[in-house]
């Protein structure tokens, strides 16, 4: 049987993972600045296999509003270009036969407001994940209380889990605030 401390450590690891996941998701949302992380979700049909773009090409950021994509296999350039056009990024690739350039236009006011809604949804999913971890941990602590752990120990452990939940939720809120500011920045 796990101890309350082990349950709390496990809960902390899982909450940390939820915060990390939220941070990773934020990085895939386009702001006015170019970032190689934008292309993390782009999959290319490479010889009948869905392959992440970063496994097929070198992605560079030569200027604040430009990404360049240099395929390892020059014959895959058309497939990469097609996948970029079909992605939800709303970017127009230009290809010179060796390299794809991806200019980042400044998002319109309307597009920025849409992006803010997207990051708020991502943040809410992160907070829900953290609360689900709390719910599981509290349930396990209650199960322990029926066994060998006393009510006082269970209550103290629940308070520690709640404190962890509050800290992780606050971290997600901070990340959201920074991401919203980055999106709305003109």
Q: Which two tokens stand for residue 120?
A: 């708020």
Do 160 and 140 sit in the same domain of this protein? yes
Cα(87)–Cα(99) distance, integer angstroms: 18
**Full residue range of the structural domain in which residue 164 is found:** 4-27+108-184
Q: 58 vs 20, 29, 32, 86, CA distance in Å?
A: 24, 20, 21, 20
The whole model's pTM is what? 0.70
Tokens 């709640």: give the residue.
162
Q: How many residues does the chain have?
A: 186
Final residue in a domain of this structure, among 88, 103, 118:
103
Cα(53)–Cα(70) distance, integer angstroms: 10
Tokens 């992440």: give the residue.
52
Do 149 and 170 sit in the same domain of this protein? yes
Give the model's pLDDT for residue 1. Answer: 63
Q: Which two tokens stand for residue 41?
A: 């979700």
The most distant pair of C-alpha atoms in the chain lies apart, rounded to whole Å, by 70
Do 65 and 122 sit in the same domain of this protein? no
pLDDT by residue for the chain (186 residues), tens only, comes to 678 888 899 999 999 999 999 998 888 776 767 778 888 888 888 888 898 988 999 999 888 888 899 999 988 888 889 888 887 777 888 888 889 998 887 778 887 888 889 899 999 999 999 999 999 999 988 887 777 667 788 888 899 999 999 999 999 999 999 999 888 876
Looking at the structure of the chain, the number of domains it has is 2
Residue 56: what are its φ and ψ, rounded to 5°?
-110, -10
Q: How many other C-beta atoms can be found within 10 angstroms of the C-beta atom of residue 26?
A: 23
Give the model's pLDDT for residue 186. Answer: 62
């Amino acid at each position: 049987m796990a101890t309350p401390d082990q349950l709390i450590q496990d809960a902390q690891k899982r909450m940390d993972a939820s915060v990390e996941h939220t941070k990773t998701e934020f990085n895939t949302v386009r702001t006015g600045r170019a970032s190689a992380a934008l292309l993390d979700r782009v999959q290319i049909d490479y010889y009948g296999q869905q392959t992440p773009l970063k496994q097929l090409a070198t992605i560079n950021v030569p200027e604040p509003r430009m990404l360049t994509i240099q395929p390892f296999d020059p014959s895959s350039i058309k497939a990469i270009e097609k996948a970029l056009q079909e992605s939800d990024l709303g970017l127009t690739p230009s290809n010179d036969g060796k390299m794809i350039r991806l200019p980042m236009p400044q998002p319109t006011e309307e597009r920025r407001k849409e992006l803010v809604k997207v990051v708020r949804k991502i943040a809410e999913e992160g907070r829900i994940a953290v609360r689900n971890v709390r719910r599981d941990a509290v349930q396990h602590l209650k199960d322990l209380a029926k066994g060998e752990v006393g009510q006082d120990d269970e209550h103290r452990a629940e308070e520690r889990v709640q404190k962890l939940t509050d800290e992780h939720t606050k971290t997600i809120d901070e990340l959201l605030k920074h991401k919203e500011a980055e999106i709305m920045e003109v």
